[in-house]
C-alpha cells in the first residue's frame, strides 16, 4: 500500500501520554484537564438521553445549539450570524479543521502554517493535495512576523492557518496583528484564513480574545473554529463548531455531510441549554489564570525560564540552563528519571529542530501542579 501520509506516525500527544503511563509519571504532556465537567452539564446530557433525544441531529447541528452559539458570538464579538448558513456544529475542532481544509484547498494550492503549529493541520493539507508552507513565529515570545508571511505568499497561496491563543506557546493576537492580516487579505484576493480559536475562552491578564469574527472584512474571508471540549473541560466529548461566510460554508458542509454527517444529539441539546448562562463560558479564563499563576510562581525557584503564557492551558519552559540535551531527549529523560511528562516543542515544527523548549499542561489540580513543580525545581 502506498501511504498517503508517509511522514505521519503516532501523534506526539499519544506517544508522551503512553510513556507517562508506562513510567507512572505526572502527565503534563497531552492537553486535557484532570478535574470534572460541570454536574449541571452532565445532568443535561443525561436528561436529554432519557427523554429520547437519541437519533440523528440535523446535518449542520441542532438549530437550538446554533442559535445558542450565535448568541454567544453576539455577546463576545458583537456580530450577528445567520444560523442557517454560517454556523455548523462539528465533531470537535479536529473535524471542523479537516472538513474546512478538504473543502477549500485544491490540488497544488499552497497553505501557510505558522509554526510551531498544532499537529492536525499539515496532514489535512497534504490529504487535500495542498503544499504546506511553514513560516516560523518569532522567538522568544512566538509573535507573528507578518513581513515573513508576506514574503511567503505566492499566487498559489490559498489559505493561512492561524491559531491564537496559541498552542503550544500561549501567545495571543494584538490589534496590530489584525490590521496586518486585513492588509494581507486586501492585497491577495485569492486568500482565506482558517482561524483555530479553540482556546478563545482561556485568555489572561484582562486581555480579550480578538476573533477574526469581530472584524467584518476579516470575517468575510475567514473560517473560525471552536471547541466545547476546551471551553467546558470535556475534551473527550468531541464537540465543536465552525463559522464561515455562506459561500464557503456551503462547500464545507458538503464535506462535513459525508465525513461526519451529524454530531452526538443529546450533547447538542445539553450545550444549547448550558450556553444560555454566559458565566459558563466567561468564567473559564479566571479559573485557568489561577492555575497559570500557581505553576509560574512555583517555577520561579527553578532553573527553567518561564516564557509568558497569555492564554490556553499551556506553559512553555526554556530548559537551556538545565540541560544540554535536545528537547525530545530531555522530555524522555524527565519522564523516565524524574517522573514528569511534557511535550517537546520541536514536535510542533515540520523540521523538528530543537529549541530547548518544553510545553507543560497546567489544566490540573493544584496538588498535581505542586508535585510536578517540586520535582522540576530540584533539577
Ligand atoms: N486545535 C488546537 C490548537 C488544539 O490544541 C486542539 C486540541 N485538542 C484542537 C484543535 C482539537 O480540538 P478538538 O479536541 O475539539 O477536536
Ligand atoms: N490538543 C491536545 C494537546 O495539544 C491534544 C489532543 C490530542 O491528543 N489529539 O495536547
Assign residue 290 the CATH number of its domain: 3.90.1150.10
Kindly state whether residues 173 and 218 are assigned to the same domain: yes
Kindly state whether residues 128 and 152 are assigned to the same domain: yes
Q: Is the CB of 27 under 6 A from ligand 2?
A: no
Kindly state whether residues 211 and 81 are assigned to the same domain: yes
Domain-ending residue, one of 251, 279, 307: 279
Q: Ligand 2 mean position to 119 CA, how many Å?
A: 8
CB–CB of 97/260 below 8 Å? no
pLDDT at 13 (0 to 100): 96
CA contacts within 13 A on the Cβ side of 166: 26
Using DSSP bridges, classify how beta strands 222-227 and 240-243 pair: parallel, antiparallel or unpaired: antiparallel
For residue 361, the ligand 2 atom closest to its alpha carbon is 10
Kindly state whether residues 260 and 119 are assigned to the same domain: yes
Q: Which domain holds residue 21?
A: 12-30+283-377
Query: Is residue 44 situated within a structural domain?
Result: no
What are the beta bridge partners of residue 271?
none
Query: Is residue 361 situated within a structural domain?
Result: yes
Give the closest residue (by CA) to ligand 1 atom 7.
31
Q: Ligand 1 mean position to 310 CA, how many Å?
A: 18
Kindly state whether residues 219 and 231 are assigned to the same domain: yes
For the question of whether the overall pTM of this predicted structure is more than 0.95, the answer is yes
Kindly state whether residues 271 and 287 are assigned to the same domain: no
By residue count, the chain amounts to: 379
Q: Ligand 2 mean position to 10 CA, how many Å?
A: 12
Query: Is residue 325 situated within a structural domain?
Result: yes
Query: Is residue 49 situated within a structural domain?
Result: no
Cell of 202: 482561556
Kindly state whether residues 293 and 270 are assigned to the same domain: no
Query: Is residue 220 situated within a structural domain?
Result: yes
Burial of 147 (0-12, 13-18, 19+ CB in 10 A): exposed
pLDDT at 269 (0 to 100): 98
Q: Is the CB of 167 under 6 A from ligand 2?
A: yes
Q: Is the CB of 240 under 6 A from ligand 2?
A: no
CB–CB of 160/154 below 8 Å? no
CB–CB of 191/225 below 8 Å? no
For residue 14, the ligand 2 atom closest to its alpha carbon is 8
pLDDT at 191 (0 to 100): 98
The span from the CA of 80 to the CA of 78, in Å, is: 7
pLDDT at 110 (0 to 100): 98
Cα 8 from chain centroid (whole Å): 19
pLDDT at 340 (0 to 100): 98
pLDDT at 147 (0 to 100): 98
Closest CA to 203 of 129, 77, 312, 280: 312
pLDDT at 313 (0 to 100): 98
Cell of 47: 436528561
Q: Ligand 1 mean position to 196 CA, how many Å?
A: 8
Kindly state whether residues 322 and 254 are assigned to the same domain: no
Kindly state whether residues 263 and 339 are assigned to the same domain: no
**Total tally of structural domains belonging to the chain:** 2
CA contacts within 13 A on the Cβ side of 203: 21
Q: Ligand 1 mean position to 187 CA, how many Å?
A: 30
pLDDT at 162 (0 to 100): 98
Give the closest residue (by CA) to ligand 2 atom 2.
31
| CATH code, domain with 261 | 3.40.640.10
The span from the CA of 325 to the CA of 366, in Å, is: 29
Domain-ending residue, one of 224, 250, 279: 279
Kindly state whether residues 269 and 347 are assigned to the same domain: no
Kindly state whether residues 117 and 151 are assigned to the same domain: yes
The span from the CA of 11 to the CA of 120, in Å, is: 9
Query: Is residue 6 situated within a structural domain?
Result: no
Give the closest residue (by CA) to ligand 1 atom 15.
92
Q: Is the CB of 167 under 6 A from ligand 1?
A: yes
Asked if the ipTM is above 0.95, the reply is yes
The span from the CA of 144 to the CA of 166, in Å, is: 11
Q: Is the CB of 30 under 6 A from ligand 2?
A: yes
Closest CA to 239 of 112, 68, 355: 68
Give the closest residue (by CA) to ligand 1 atom 12.
93
pLDDT at 333 (0 to 100): 98
CB–CB of 341/32 below 8 Å? no
Number of neighbours of residue 320 by Cβ within 10 angstroms: 12
Query: Is residue 48 situated within a structural domain?
Result: no
pLDDT by position in tens, the chain (length 379): 999 999 999 999 999 999 999 999 999 999 999 999 999 999 999 999 999 999 999 999 999 999 999 999 999 999 999 999 999 999 999 999 999 999 999 999 999 999 999 999 999 999 999 999 999 999 999 999 999 999 999 999 999 999 999 999 999 999 999 999 999 999 999 999 999 999 999 999 999 999 999 999 999 999 999 999 999 999 999 999 999 999 999 999 999 999 999 999 999 999 999 999 999 999 999 999 999 999 999 999 999 999 999 999 999 999 999 999 999 999 999 999 999 999 999 999 999 999 999 999 999 999 999 999 999 999 9
Q: Is the CB of 165 under 6 A from ligand 2?
A: no
Q: Is the CB of 93 under 6 A from ligand 1?
A: yes
Domain-ending residue, one of 247, 279, 311: 279
Query: Is residue 5 situated within a structural domain?
Result: no
Kindly state whether residues 109 and 257 are assigned to the same domain: yes
**Best mutation site among 9, 13, 226 for ligand 2 pocket (most ligand atoms within 8 Å of CB):** 13
Amino acid at each position: 500500500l502506498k501511504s498517503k501520509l508517509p511522514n505521519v506516525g503516532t501523534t506526539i500527544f499519544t506517544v508522551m501520554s503512553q510513556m507517562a503511563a508506562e513510567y507512572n509519571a505526572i502527565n503534563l504532556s497531552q492537553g486535557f484537564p484532570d478535574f470534572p465537567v460541570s454536574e449541571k452539564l452532565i445532568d443535561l446530557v443525561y436528561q436529554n438521553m432519557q427523554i429520547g433525544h437519541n437519533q440523528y441531529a440535523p446535518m449542520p447541528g441542532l438549530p437550538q445549539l446554533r442559535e445558542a452559539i450565535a448568541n454567544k458570538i453576539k455577546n463576545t464579538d458583537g456580530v450577528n450570524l445567520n444560523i442557517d448558513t454560517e454556523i455548523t456544529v462539528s465533531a470537535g475542532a479536529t473535524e471542523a479543521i479537516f472538513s474546512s481544509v478538504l473543502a477549500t484547498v485544491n490540488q497544488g494550492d499552497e497553505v501557510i502554517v505558522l509554526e510551531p503549529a498544532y499537529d492536525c493541520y499539515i496532514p489535512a493539507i497534504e490529504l487535500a493535495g495542498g503544499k504546506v508552507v511553514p513560516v516560523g513565529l518569532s522567538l522568544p515570545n512566538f509573535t507573528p512576523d507578518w513581513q515573513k508571511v508576506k514574503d511567503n505568499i505566492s499566487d498559489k497561496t490559498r489559505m493561512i492557518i492561524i491559531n491564537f491563543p496559541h498552542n503550544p506557546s500561549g501567545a495571543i493576537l494584538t490589534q496590530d496583528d489584525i490590521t496586518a492580516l486585513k492588509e494581507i487579505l486586501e492585497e491577495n484576493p485569492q486568500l482565506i484564513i482558517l482561524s483555530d480559536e479553540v482556546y478563545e475562552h482561556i485568555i489572561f491578564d484582562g486581555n480579550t480574545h480578538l476573533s477574526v469574527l469581530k472584524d467584518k472584512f476579516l470575517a468575510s474571508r475567514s473560517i473560525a473554529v471552536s471547541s466545547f471540549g476546551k471551553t467546558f473541560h470535556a475534551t473527550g466529548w468531541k464537540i465543536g463548531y465552525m463559522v464561515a461566510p455562506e459561500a464557503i460554508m456551503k462547500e464545507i458542509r458538503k464535506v462535513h455531510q459525508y465525513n461526519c454527517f451529524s454530531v452526538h444529539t443529546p450533547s447538542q441539546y445539553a450545550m444549547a441549554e448550558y450556553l444560555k448562562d454566559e458565566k459558563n463560558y466567561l468564567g473559564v479564563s479566571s479559573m485557568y489564570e489561577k492555575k497559570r499563576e500557581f505553576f509560574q510562581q512555583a517555577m520561579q525557584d527553578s532553573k527553567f525560564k518561564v516564557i509568558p503564557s497569555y492564554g490556553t492551558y499551556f506553559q512553555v519552559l526554556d530548559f537551556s540552563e538545565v540541560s544540554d540535551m535536545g528537547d525530545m531527549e530531555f522530555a524522555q529523560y524527565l519522564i523516565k528519571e524524574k517522573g514528569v511528562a511534557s511535550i517537546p516543542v520541536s514536535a510542533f515544527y515540520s523540521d523538528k529542530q530543537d529549541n530547548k523548549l518544553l510545553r507543560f499542561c497546567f489544566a490540573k489540580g493544584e496538588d498535581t501542579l505542586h508535585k510536578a513543580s517540586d520535582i522540576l525545581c530540584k533539577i
